Structure 1
Amino acid sequence: MSETKLKPIEKIGYGLGDFGSNIVFQTILILLPAFYTDVFGLAPAIMGTMFLVVRLLDTVTDPIMGVVADNTNTKWGKFRPYLLWFSVPFSVVFVLTFITPDFSESGKLVYAYLTYALLMVLYTVVNIPYCALGGVITSDSQERVSANSYRFFIATSAGVLISFFAPNLIKTFGNGNDQAGYPYAMATFAVLAILAFFGCFALTKERVKQAAPTKGSLGLDFKTLLKNDQWLVVALLFFVLLVPIVLRGASQVYYVKWFIGDAELIAAFLTTGTFCQMVGAGFASSLTKKLGKVPAYILVQAIIVVGSVTLYFVSNTNLYAIFILFGLVNFFVQMGAPILFTMAADTVEYGELKTGRRVTGLVFSGALFALKLGVAVGGWLIGMVLAYYGYEGGSDIEKQTPEAVRGIVLSLTLFPAIGHFLLIPIVSFYRLNKTRCDEIRSELDQKANA
């Protein structure tokens, strides 16, 4: 029987890995769209197209990275070494992405494509092994929820730091020049990311092994994955979920600046959302203990839908209601995250029992590909929505049309509500409750000991 109970220090160490990844992810989600349109100088439609095109790379890099990780064997394990090897290059490219070069318009576009594409490749190289690590530090389903609750609590604290400190750091480093301030602010966060990745490497241990080791290939592993019907449900959930998350996240700065009409509130608004996310992640474990994964996930999505729809009808002068509802929505958004990642981890054993092959890396690379495809569609949509409603980017713009403001409000409220509503019927097809997961683990242990 593999070790299942984790000490708090290892759960914290596991969370540090996503703290590092989330420094990049949250910055891309919250700040990068506004940076590209208002600082770097890209038109919204061009930005949206770039987000979509670059993500096509993931159709190649994600599955390859999953198979590579599954076939990695070192004295440190299969997945942990990538945190050590690639954290520094990942962080360096993160900073380069926020530099505005003194190039022509076409030259700047090429620079944006290259740096953003390389950042996404390195995100894949680091984050897929990290996520797969969650499937091998313990085999207990409820313990995975607990570890993922630690993970998302710690990971979201990265978002809190960025939301609270980034606007002021950018202003301070740049002396009012955002083009000059962004790289130095991002370099500060990049150092924190490197330290977090090293901490995750040092404090975690890979335990769960395949019951009956077999040698595989890319084609065989793909066939194995596609036979896993529960993984297909999880992958669809990841895709659908990330579209509204990106729409909401990318709209936040625009919403405060143009709907509320006070750019000084950007840091407070962003911090409210990310702080509530951090707190919400900590409640996932207790909620699933009482209700189970699927009922808990349905309840969470239903509350998000109601909160998002209500926020649409709030006046821009009612700041208390705006902040409370925005905080409520984000609280439940992040409460759902540990549940979904635990569902993904549980499909690993289900697939192993069903096919005789354990493809942990490919399970998570496939799920993350679905996630990043959702990010791509959400990023493309925010660009298209801004363009459709007539948003004008640039640091010299003083006012937006009522239609442009309406598009921003829709992107933060009603459009995301639709996505969260669609998750409810999809998750109903997920069948791996705790009882079933325990049965699967017991059967695999019997095979391993036979």
Structure 2
Amino acid sequence: MSVAVSLNEAKGFCRLGWLTRIGFGAGDLAQNLVYQTISIYLLIYYTNVYGLDPSAAAFMFLVVRVVDLVWDPLVGTFVDKHSPRFGKYRSYLLFAEVPLSGFAIMCFWNGYSGSLLYAYVTYVGLSMLYTLINVPYGALNASLTRDTNEITILTSVRMLLANTGGLAVAYGIPVLLAKLSPDGKMNTAASSDAWLTTMTIYAVAGLALMLFCFSQTRERVVMGDDETADVRLSDLWTEFFRNRPLRILAFFFVTAFAMMAVGNSAGSYYMIYNIHADAGQVANFMALGSVPAFIFMPMVPAIKRKVGKRAMFSIFLSVAIVGMVLLYVISVVPALRANIWMVYAAQFVKSTGVIVATGYMWALVPEVISYGEYVNGKRISGIVNALTGIFYKAGMALGGVIPGMVLAFVGFDKGSESVQSPLAEQGILWLVAVIPAALLVVALMIISRYELTDERIDEINRVIERRRNV
């Protein structure tokens, strides 16, 4: 029997229908309606609407990520060791989404304005529930198929829908806030009710999309209870130290997510205080953080086949760095800064590189899971996703602390609606361009060491299937 026939008949190498691809991607769309809102807008909500000092908000972001360092591996281990009624991974999409939606809404309720305790309780609760969905959702990706090409297509569809969520947040939230706020602004105490209404709309939409994801996915590549009975919490670090591709990917996650967290949270500050933009221009700028996905993500499978994974990362990370350099140069030259289209163009170039590189990185997670299974016989998808979660949240922690501390250092005036000191403006510019560019240079050096080619992964998956079918 030929290898091609064996692959077609093997249980793990399945072709996925478009409804499954779209259904799975709807889960990332749902998560991004909440995650991107938190990532992009929670800091400006906390400082300008809720009334926290930037340094207090920055410290809280760090504490939440420290809690995640403990919580994520516990969730990953629990998920791998148990098989709930509706699926090892997909069950959590059903059970955890309702409370997640509730906590997302409570994070943007101003009933206890200025209360650090309320902010801590709601944000920690939101983060823990997000992990309870995100870890199984990430593992679900690797359970749908082993086919490398299918994983690439699935990731492209997923990232298109994830960026649809990002676009809905980046563009839709400033527009909604401008319409719902009595003063037409998004960064004043008067806009608090508008924030609550807006987050309620997004949370309910996310709940409906996650239920659709649950209904359209089916697990095919999972280990049985007898195979995962000996899964232990210590497997997380054991896997980390013996799985070199996983280590490379983990460190890439740290730098990539730190870069995104810093740049995303600074974007609205940059447009309001450096460019003196209105709500519509803020919406346009933030939307350009997602728009390139609809142009370039469908091309990813063809680009990857043409140049290979590592070259694709190098090309698009370099494009992102060029975009950030352009954004900085345009911002420091008054004659250029006055042309808003130039600011938009620089944001488009930057976002093109960021979206493709950080979007495709999720396709590498099933690869490192398969590599670990090949080496040690355990397909511990939950633990691997918990581990990548630890590192991307470490990046988020770094990216969450930096903006608040920089704003505190440069004397950001949270009471001002549109004007800051020259030092504060320069600090915001560092956050939106300089620091993210430096992080991308580090990310480029890290991912250049990733050695799992498509051919190597296909060989590994064939060996695993032969073992399982003996």
Please indicate the TM-score interval, normalised by the length of the shorter structure.
over 0.9
The answer on 1:255 being equivalent to 2:270 is yes
SS for the counterpart of 1:392 is coil
SS for the counterpart of 1:83 is helix
CA apart distance, 1:60: 1.1
The answer on 1:146 being equivalent to 2:159 is no
One-letter amino acid of the counterpart of residue 330, structure 1: S
Q: TM-score, with normalisation over the residues of structure 1? A: 0.96
Q: TM-score, with normalisation over the residues of structure 2? A: 0.92
* 1:406-430: CA deviation from partner (whole Å, max 9, x where unpaired): 1111111111111111112211221
* 1:32-79: CA deviation from partner (whole Å, max 9, x where unpaired): 111011101111111111101111011111011111111221343210
List aligned pairs for 1:412-423, cutoff 5 A: 412-423=432-443
The answer on 1:443 being equivalent to 2:443 is no
Equivalent residue number for residue 236 of structure 1: 251
202, 227, 231: which is aligned to 1:213? 227
SS for the counterpart of 1:31 is helix
When structure 1 is superposed on structure 2, of 111-120 and 67-76 the one drifting more is: 67-76
Taking the aligned partners of 1:350 and 1:213, their CA distance within structure 2 comes to: 17
One-letter amino acid of the counterpart of residue 307, structure 1: G
Equivalent residue number for residue 134 of structure 1: 141
The answer on 1:327 being equivalent to 2:348 is yes
The answer on 1:68 being equivalent to 2:82 is no
The 1:402–1:220 alpha-carbon spacing in structure 2 relative to 1, beyond 3 Å, is closer
CA apart distance, 1:220: 4.6
Taking the aligned partners of 1:44 and 1:257, their CA distance within structure 2 comes to: 17
Taking the aligned partners of 1:232 and 1:78, their CA distance within structure 2 comes to: 25
Flag structure 2 segments of 5+ consecutive residues without an equivalent.
1-9, 184-189, 331-335
* 1:187-221: CA deviation from partner (whole Å, max 9, x where unpaired): 00111100110011011111113499352232452
CA apart distance, 1:165: 2.1
The answer on 1:191 being equivalent to 2:212 is no
Equivalent residue number for residue 407 of structure 1: 427
332, 336, 350: which is aligned to 2:371? 350
Tell me if the contact between 2:292 and 2:348 (Cα under 8 Å) persists in the aligned partners.
yes
Taking the aligned partners of 1:10 and 1:76, their CA distance within structure 2 comes to: 16
Taking the aligned partners of 1:281 and 1:189, their CA distance within structure 2 comes to: 24
Tell me if the contact between 1:3 and 1:207 (Cα under 8 Å) persists in the aligned partners.
no
**Could you say what the CA RMSD is over the residues aligned between the two structures, in angstroms?**
1.6
Tell me if the contact between 1:284 and 1:336 (Cα under 8 Å) persists in the aligned partners.
no
Equivalent residue number for residue 305 of structure 2: 289
14, 26, 30: which is aligned to 1:20? 30
Taking the aligned partners of 2:173 and 2:453, their CA distance within structure 1 comes to: 41
SS for the counterpart of 1:134 is helix
When structure 1 is superposed on structure 2, of 188-197 and 171-180 the one drifting more is: 171-180
* 1:238-267: CA deviation from partner (whole Å, max 9, x where unpaired): 011111111110111111101111233111
Equivalent residue number for residue 361 of structure 2: 340
4, 8, 13: which is aligned to 1:3? 13
CA apart distance, 1:83: 0.5
Equivalent residue number for residue 323 of structure 2: 307
Flag structure 1 segments of 5+ consecutive residues without an equivalent.
none
Tell me if the contact between 1:277 and 1:333 (Cα under 8 Å) persists in the aligned partners.
no
Taking the aligned partners of 2:116 and 2:361, their CA distance within structure 1 comes to: 36
Tell me if the contact between 2:276 and 2:418 (Cα under 8 Å) persists in the aligned partners.
no
* 1:301-346: CA deviation from partner (whole Å, max 9, x where unpaired): 1111111112110032121111011012112211113321111110
CA apart distance, 1:150: 0.4
Count of residues in Structure 1 that have an aligned counterpart in Structure 2: 446
The answer on 1:93 being equivalent to 2:103 is yes
The answer on 1:125 being equivalent to 2:132 is yes
The 1:343–1:407 alpha-carbon spacing in structure 2 relative to 1, beyond 3 Å, is same
Tell me if the contact between 2:146 and 2:461 (Cα under 8 Å) persists in the aligned partners.
yes
The answer on 1:82 being equivalent to 2:92 is yes
Equivalent residue number for residue 426 of structure 1: 446
One-letter amino acid of the counterpart of residue 230, structure 1: P
The 1:109–1:197 alpha-carbon spacing in structure 2 relative to 1, beyond 3 Å, is same
List aligned pairs for 1:164-203, cutoff 5 A: 164-176=171-183, 177-203=190-216
The 1:226–1:316 alpha-carbon spacing in structure 2 relative to 1, beyond 3 Å, is same
One-letter amino acid of the counterpart of residue 464, structure 2: L
Taking the aligned partners of 2:257 and 2:240, their CA distance within structure 1 comes to: 21
One-letter amino acid of the counterpart of residue 419, structure 2: K
